Chains A and B, each alone.
Chain A
Amino acid sequence: MGLRGDAAVVGIAEYAPERHFAGEAKFTLEQWADLAALALDDAGIPASAVDGIVCANDVRESNMFLPATIAEYCGFAVDFAERVDLGGASAVGMVWRAAVAVELGICDVVVGALTARPVPEPPEPVPVDPRVMYGASSNLWGSPQAEFEIPYGNIAQNAGYAMIAQRYGAQFGYDPRATAKIAVDQRTNALANPAAIFHDQPITVDDVLDSRMIADPLHLLEIVMPCVGGGAFVVAGREHARRARERNAFVAGFGEHLTHKTHTYMPDLTSSPVGPAARQAFAMAGIGPSDVDVAELYDCYTITVLLSIEDSGFCAKGDGMRFVRDHDLTYAGDFPVNTHGGQLGFGQPGVAGGLSQVLEGVRQVRGDAGAHQVPGCDTAYVSGTGGIMSEQSALVLVAA
């Protein structure tokens, strides 16, 4: 089973996240085209060579037929067209699907983008769609969430992740200073990344613990800051990679796993779906967790990082708090995590937030991450998380 490792992320583009966007509002289709052009420039590949696209749910001007709409808008004639619907796990899901398509010979050059900048205000008010009026929870009649979750206020992400953290504490013990340290170490990484929204604001463990309790046991500084931005990537085979640059990030393994939409029905609240995804990704790549040089772990909350460290196999189940206490998670440390600052320090530009982890993994493997580069980084592990640990994905990138 698996990949030969012959497809690489040969081009990337990313807007620096912003909390207050001062630029020109553009439609998401326009943003998609802009980002695709930037990523193709980075790859040194002409737009005419694109024969595959992969998109997600962020394109707002249309609700369906998105790949066809994007292909037409950008002028791509494609033999591979995918739409990935995995929330924060979409970015990893998009990259591995692109790599599979290239390895199968379906196409040569796949472009994917995730847009997260403001769009122009419509001239007339648009009715609120019940499928999105409560974010990821559908309030349409017949939706299980409309009937059994939303009326009780079980809405959005904070409470769900808090309930997972609370359960973890009851089963394995909770060390608030350890989870706070995750946010602090990642902030240290953000301080070395000029693109991060928190690049100029250091924090301490006490700052995290003194920040407002949002949903017990999660403090404000353990929760991502929504912002705007966006990113894109180009996946292609060895010939394109060789022409693009000397050192590239090849997709060596991947996995994804889903069991539930609402955490209430998660088979085991403290055993996250990234476990099976990571095992598949590592097996496919022919390596183990100890071979990883950087771990770019989806971090909507500190508890997500903790569970991802355990379930990806970097330490035993229930040992995560000790692991975090005993290791330096900064780019200069012995177990570098979220070297760009993570979404906690970099910012979460919507569904493009998960792409920030993929793109940082690519930069680290290329060796051009700048001040937060981990020396001698040959292998990056990237995870993605959608919903309330509803869908999780894993990716192994190796240098070649």
Chain B
Amino acid sequence: MSPDPRFPRDSAELPKPRPERTPTSAPFWDALDAEQVRIQRCDACGAWVHYPRNRCPHCLSDRLAWHDVSGHGKVLTFTVARQPTARPFADEVPQLLAVIELDEGVRMTTTLVGVEPDEITVGMPVVPVFDHGTDGVTLLRFSPE
């Protein structure tokens, strides 16, 4: 009998967490499904915004519009997690966690693929990789340009 997910004996029994789109964020996830990076820009102050919000974190305007972008950027920082950051990620060790700064200036959390741990550098140019899951969710990962 599989364990009741509400009563895991420990976090090893938790399924790998997956994002669940919200009414506000759906355009971002829908675009990833179609292999497109789409982010918000504020029509009031011109700032690019990520993650998706209902109001701009620069001026609090609600005039946010979606724009398709290249998804190109660079590694702002990274780490090689040699001990899992949480038990459901034990199969991904070493985890190549990174913060990417897109050309538009917004940042996002990701993991790097198609690169060896010792090849990663701060400032390295990266391009998007669309990781389509069997559950219908596409995660946005990045690899060296």
Within 8 Å by CB of A167, from B16, B76, B109, lies B76
Task: Return B83 CB to nearest CB of chain A, in Å.
Answer: 5
Q: Given the complex, which residues of B lie within 8 Å of A147, measured CB to CB?
A: 19-22, 25, 51
Whether the pair B20, A264 counts as a contact (CB closer than 8 A) is no
Q: Given the complex, which residues of A lie within 8 Å of B117, measured CB to CB?
A: 216
Whether the pair B7, A125 counts as a contact (CB closer than 8 A) is yes
Whether the pair A159, B99 counts as a contact (CB closer than 8 A) is no
Q: B80 interface residue, CB < 8 Å from A? A: yes
Q: B143 interface residue, CB < 8 Å from A? A: no
Given contacts A141-B22, A263-B99, contact A166 B7 (CB under 8 A): no
Complex Cα distance, B97 from A215, in Å, reads: 10
- For window 251-289 of chain A, which residues contact chain B by CB distance below 8 Å? 262-265, 269
Q: Given the complex, which residues of A lie within 8 Å of B122, measured CB to CB?
A: 166-167, 169-170
Whether the pair A213, B77 counts as a contact (CB closer than 8 A) is no
Whether the pair B99, A163 counts as a contact (CB closer than 8 A) is yes
Complex Cα distance, B83 from A196, in Å, reads: 26
Binds B, one of A44-52, A127-135, A238-246: A127-135
Whether the pair A155, B86 counts as a contact (CB closer than 8 A) is yes
Complex Cα distance, B121 from A305, in Å, reads: 24
Whether the pair A151, B107 counts as a contact (CB closer than 8 A) is no
Q: A57 interface residue, CB < 8 Å from B? A: no
Within 8 Å by CB of A139, from B17, B21, B121, lies B17
Map CB proximity to B onto A97-128 as digits: 1 under 8 Å, 0 otherwise.
00000000000000000000000000001011
Q: A142 interface residue, CB < 8 Å from B? A: yes
Within 8 Å by CB of A215, from B7, B81, B123, lies B81
Q: Given the complex, which residues of A lie within 8 Å of B61, measured CB to CB?
A: none
Whether the pair B107, A128 counts as a contact (CB closer than 8 A) is no
Given contacts A133-B14, A153-B111, A154-B109, contact A163 B79 (CB under 8 A): yes
Whether the pair B79, A153 counts as a contact (CB closer than 8 A) is no
Q: Given the complex, which residues of A lie within 8 Å of B103, measured CB to CB?
A: none
In the complex formed, the residue of A with least CB distance to B92 is A153
Chain B: interface size category: 35 or more
Given contacts A134-B17, A167-B122, A264-B108, contact A214 B83 (CB under 8 A): yes
Whether the pair B108, A151 counts as a contact (CB closer than 8 A) is no
Q: Given the complex, which residues of B lie within 8 Å of A148, measured CB to CB?
A: 19, 51, 108-109
Whether the pair A159, B79 counts as a contact (CB closer than 8 A) is yes
Q: A65 interface residue, CB < 8 Å from B? A: no
Q: Given the complex, which residues of A lie within 8 Å of B77, measured CB to CB?
A: 163-164, 166-167, 170, 269
Whether the pair B51, A154 counts as a contact (CB closer than 8 A) is no
Q: A71 interface residue, CB < 8 Å from B? A: no
Complex Cα distance, B76 from A164, in Å, reads: 10
Given contacts A128-B8, A166-B77, A167-B77, contact A151 B85 (CB under 8 A): no
In the complex formed, the residue of A with least CB distance to B93 is A153
Within 8 Å by CB of A216, from B7, B79, B121, B139, lies B79
Q: Given the complex, which residues of B lie within 8 Å of A216, measured CB to CB?
A: 79-80, 82, 117
Whether the pair A170, B123 counts as a contact (CB closer than 8 A) is yes
Whether the pair A262, B109 counts as a contact (CB closer than 8 A) is yes
A-B contact pairs, 8 of them (CB 8 A): A127-B7, A134-B17, A147-B19, A154-B109, A155-B86, A159-B97, A163-B77, A216-B79
